[in-house]
Structure 1
Amino acid sequence: MWWSDPTRRLILTAGLAATLLSACNFTPVYGPGGGGGALRGAILVTEPDTDIDFAFVRRVEERLGLPSAPRFDLTYTLATTENALAIDGSNNIERFNIEGRLAWQVIPMGDTTPVLSGSEASFTAYAATGSTISTLESRRDAERRLAIILADKVVARLLGDAATLAQ
């Protein structure tokens, strides 16, 4: 019956989580000893060429800040493919899937050797059931969502290796 009280359950769960995290040498990325603060404003992302590139760069800059004193270049190649997902009885495509693949590298300014690199992949979908204009806007929205997903994955990797990059 002591476990059924929500307040006690919360206190016990929080205490258990704190114990487990301290036992595994967990350090918050923005806390003391974490390297997240060192990346704030330190990453210059390659200038975008397309709408989806622009959404990717904007999201990275939202998460890591505008490059005020850049120490690293983030170069990337973003490619998408589009496939039909749903076809109705009249052979009209009603839903599309957009798959995105992103290859990226972090290179110190003035250098050519990457200190960190990786690749990310994800997908989104959109409906093509309305007018031409609504279908085009649905496609653009799906591309923006895909860019945000890929940017968040890259930022998570950068923050995970922030202590290495901060050195």
Structure 2
Amino acid sequence: MRRRALLAALASLPGLAGCGLRPLYGPARDGATVAGELAAVRIETPKTPLGWTLADRLARELGVAGTAAARYRLVVELERRRNVLAVQLDDTVTRYELTLIARFRLIELESGHELLRSEDRRVAGYGVLRQPYATLAAERDAERRAAAALARAIRNRLALFFRERAA
């Protein structure tokens, strides 16, 4: 049975060649790569601990190491919301849901034109513990998880934009 499925999958591969499917990070017709475009993005986030966390995660995701000359500016605005998720019978909150919303714009440095405007949101939950410091640590961990997920989502959106632009 597995052999038959493998043969069917292999037989369908030649059909994919004509469908226009291209790897996201492969070179475009003009030789530019998505990875090269991502590395040329200068990141601007709010000057807050959460903004710095997101900027650090974005730099890792985009491959920004300071080696490529910046051609784009990514301006990110962050909104943080906290909602009660679970309450005990005595009205004691036991769980929160943290929502991070990023509104971002990609601007070409040379022309100053806005190339992309988008928004994304990510949610992370955390429990309320007996010790206040433990609850604070859980909240900070939820912020880091949500920021990491946002950075991946923004990277994916930018990668698709650069791939479509090169096509």
Give the TM bin, normalised by the shorter chain.
0.7 to 0.9
Q: Is 1:24 aligned to residue 19 of structure 2?
A: yes
1: CA distance between counterparts of 2:166 and 2:19? Answer: 22
- The residue number in structure 1 matching 2:9 is 13
User: Which of 35, 39, 42 pairs up with 1:41?
Assistant: 39
Q: Is 1:53 aligned to residue 48 of structure 2?
A: no
**SS at the partner of 2:82?**
strand
2: CA distance between counterparts of 1:78 and 1:20? Answer: 44
CA RMSD of aligned residues (A): 2.2
Structure 1 position 41, deviation (Å): 2.1
Does the C-alpha gap of structure 1 residues 157 and 19 become closer, same or farther in structure 2, counting only changes over 3 Å?
farther
- The residue number in structure 2 matching 1:128 is 128
Structure 1 position 110, deviation (Å): 4.5
CA contact (8 A) 1:83 1:97 kept: yes
Q: Which runs of 5+ in 2 are unaligned?
A: none
Listed as ranges, the matches of 1:63-82 within 5 Å are 63-66=61-64, 67-68=66-67, 69-82=69-82
Structure 1 position 99, deviation (Å): 1.3
- The residue number in structure 2 matching 1:96 is 96
Q: Is 1:62 aligned to residue 60 of structure 2?
A: yes
- The residue number in structure 2 matching 1:160 is 160
Equivalent residue letter for 1:9: A
How many residues are aligned here?
162
Give the TM-score normalised by the residue count of structure 1. Answer: 0.84
Runs of 4+ more than 6 Å apart: none
2: CA distance between counterparts of 1:120 and 1:156? Answer: 11
1: CA distance between counterparts of 2:60 and 2:84? Answer: 32
Q: Which runs of 5+ in 1 are unaligned?
A: none
Does the C-alpha gap of structure 1 residues 107 and 94 become closer, same or farther in structure 2, counting only changes over 3 Å?
same
1: CA distance between counterparts of 2:63 and 2:19? Answer: 29
Deviates more, 1:38-47 or 1:138-147: 38-47
Give the TM-score normalised by the residue count of structure 2. Answer: 0.84
